[in-house]
Amino acid sequence: MNNIEFNNPELLWLLILVPLLAFYFYKLNTNRTNSFKISSTDDFNYGLKSKIYPFLDILRLAIISLLIIALSRPQEISNSVRTKTSSGIDIVIAVDISSSMLAQDLKPNRLEALKTVAAEFINDRQNDRIGLVIYAGESYTKTPVTSDKSIIIKSLNDIVFDGIIQDGTAIGMGLATSVNRLKESKAKSKVIILLTDGVNNSGFIDPSTAADLAANYGIKTYTIGLGSNANALAPIALNPDGSFRFGMTKVEIDEELLELIASKTGGLYFRATNNESLQDIYDEINKLEKTDVEEIRYSDAEEKYRFFILISLGLIFVEFTLRKLIFLIRWH
């Protein structure tokens, strides 16, 4: 946005003199007119001079006004704002993809609800790098830490329970794999968001040991327990065609373990019992882990006084020419 400002605005007060000078010139012209003695031979000269003198006074007032404005140094100010982002945060989202994530206490099920909320979270973290780890009875890196959000979103949307990895809940292995993805990171802040809907019942890495490892590398871990506080419609067996048979099962989440992991690493534990609370949790984490953005304002001043100087010089030339004309008339 461009604005006109004056570098020496106090000089604009001198413009008050212009109407005073106008009154002075008016009185001077009146006296000059009364003092003329008109003879038959001077009729033409008097008529011409009587018209030129007021015009000369107007020119002089305009010149004075323009010079005062020029001395005040008008400037056109262009303001622009740029944002400078300091080193962002490296985040790994560790997703439990055990068969129990197909439970329908969240709609349409836990896994799909998580994917929807996590996608929104990823899109909000424009200045951060994000990676994706999935685990069940074992774990692996779905996507290394990257700043390309489209890759992360595609990988997230591709997550399904397909039975390729052993079923179960290896919280320790999911956490350890996430730590492995972040331990070499140079980011000022490293964060793991670990989500599970059960208890640790698989894997060869103890979750507490993995939490100590995360703490040693300065990696903060937010843990989320996902599931209602009662029973949930969840897979209980396989049908002959390979599909799941669903039945009501008790929701069991090792909240004590998840709280321990969060406590050891400087994070927080959250419990999501429905879609809304899961969204609230990710919103809260989004607020807690802020990337520093510095706003830098630039101002560019373009001097405009030259325009007024040039007009003043032009008017001075016109006044000088007219005065020479009056001088010549006086002597003819």
- Among 32-36, 57-61, 137-141, 142-146, which is the least confidently predicted range? 32-36
* Residue 237 Cα to chain centre, angstroms: 49
Q: Where are the beta strands (DSSP E) in 185-275?
A: 189-196, 219-226, 231-238, 244-250, 269-272
> Letter for the amino acid at 109?
N
**Per-residue pLDDT for 81 more than 60?**
no
For the chain, what is the mean pLDDT? Answer: 85
Q: How confident is the model at residue 2 (pLDDT cuts 50, 70, 90)?
A: low
Confidence of residue 330 (pLDDT cuts 50, 70, 90): low
Coil, strand or helix: which one is 211?
helix
pLDDT of 187-204, one tens digit each?
888 999 999 998 999 989
Q: Check pLDDT > 50 for residue 209.
A: yes
Residue (of 248, 165, 167, 237) closest to 201 by Cα position:
167
Domains of the chain: 2-79+299-330 (no CATH), 87-291 (3.40.50.410)
**Of the spans 24-38, 62-76, 121-135, 277-291, which averages the highest pLDDT?**
121-135
Specify whether the CB–CB gap between 269 and 256 falls below 8 A. no
Q: Which residues pair with 140 in a beta bridge?
A: 134
